[in-house]
């Protein structure tokens, strides 16, 4: 079944947890993803990078130091080496022996569970090898696999290298600036979807994205201590950012709302009189 990332026209908004249910499980691991699904989530953001022997693994940082009991850099280690480490113990005793996952494992899991994936490519170097590895993996899957992903990156050139080799892959680009021609800049990167943060977007720009047929993702960065990020922006800017964002959701300008806290973003979507899915 085709996964739909552009959903606002049906009165729905995708709850898009950042790295899975990472407040309660070690980030970017299968238990974090499964917990999100158990809470009713149908779309998850994950991060991928490539090992020294050209395997795609699910991890955020260039090194494994923060999220494992090991030390070293993903791009300098083989998959076999990475599989020797524990990627859950750092989070808590009950998560001991959580392995690193390959992208292929999580992709297969997502398809079997009807989950859409926003897949952020974290590759800094070896772009050509990354692109060919990603394309080879996707070509080995049924067409439905491509329909379950948006390939995302801050590096638009990286994901466009993939798209050159695999034109049917859908791209989501990050915009962390206000350009003179915002829509033009996004379309020039061959995007089907766009990820925005509040400081760099306006209602007018969101309307342009939607009129161009793009799906939109609003990322609310975690400000710590379970603070509602939109409320944090109220204090930072000195005006009612929270209800401005609620208005954007209500007007159908946001397809995906992303944060670490699943309950928080679900509540915001309901307050905007939309259905969280």
Catalytic residues: 18, 60
Per-residue H/E/C for the chain: CCCCCCCHHHCEEEEEEECCCCCCCCCCCHHHHHHHHHCCCCEEEEEEEECCCCCEEECCCCECCCCCCCCCEHHHCCHHHHCCCCCCCCCCHHHCCCCCCEHHHHHHHHHHCCCEEEEEECCCCCHHHHHHHHHHHHHCCCHHHHCCEEEEECCHHHHHHHHHHCCCCCEEEEECCCCCCHHHHHHHCCCCEEEECHHHCCHHHHHHHHHCCCEEEEECCCCCCCCCHHHHHHHHHCCCHHHHHHHHHHCCCCCEEEECCHHHHHHHHHHCCCEEC
Exposed/middle/buried for residue 223 (C-beta within 10 Å: 0-12, 13-18, 19+): middle
């Amino acid at each position: 079944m085709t996964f739909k990332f552009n959903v606002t026209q049906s009165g729905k908004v995708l709850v898009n947890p950042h790295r899975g249910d990472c407040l309660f499980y070690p980030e970017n691991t299968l238990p974090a993803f499964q917990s999100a699904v158990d809470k009713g989530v149908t779309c998850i953001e994950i991060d991928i990078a490539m090992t020294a022997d050209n395997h795609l693994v699910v991890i955020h940082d260039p090194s494994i130091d923060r999220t494992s009991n090991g030390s070293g850099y993903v791009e300098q280690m083989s998959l076999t080496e990475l599989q020797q480490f524990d990627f859950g113990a750092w989070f808590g005793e009950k998560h001991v022996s959580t392995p690193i996952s390959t992208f292929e494992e999580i992709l297969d899991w997502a398809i079997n569970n009807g989950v859409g994936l926003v897949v952020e490519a974290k590759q800094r170097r070896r772009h050509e090898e990354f692109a060919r590895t990603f394309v080879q993996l996707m070509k080995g899957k049924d067409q439905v696999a491509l329909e379950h992903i948006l390939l995302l990156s801050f590096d638009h050139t990286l994901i466009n290298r993939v798209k050159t080799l695999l034109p049917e892959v859908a791209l989501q680009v990050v915009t962390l600036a206000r350009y003179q021609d915002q829509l033009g800049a996004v379309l020039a990167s061959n995007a089907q979807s766009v990820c925005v943060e509040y400081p760099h977007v306006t209602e007018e720009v969101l309307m342009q994205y939607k009129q161009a047929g793009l799906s939109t993702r609003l990322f609310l960065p975690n400000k710590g201590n379970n603070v509602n990020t939109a409320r944090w922006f109220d204090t930072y800017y000195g005006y009612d950012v929270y209800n401005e964002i609620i208005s954007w959701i209500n007007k159908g300008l946001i397809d995906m709302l992303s944060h670490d806290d699943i309950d928080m973003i679900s509540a915001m979507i309901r307050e905007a009189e939309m259905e969280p899915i």
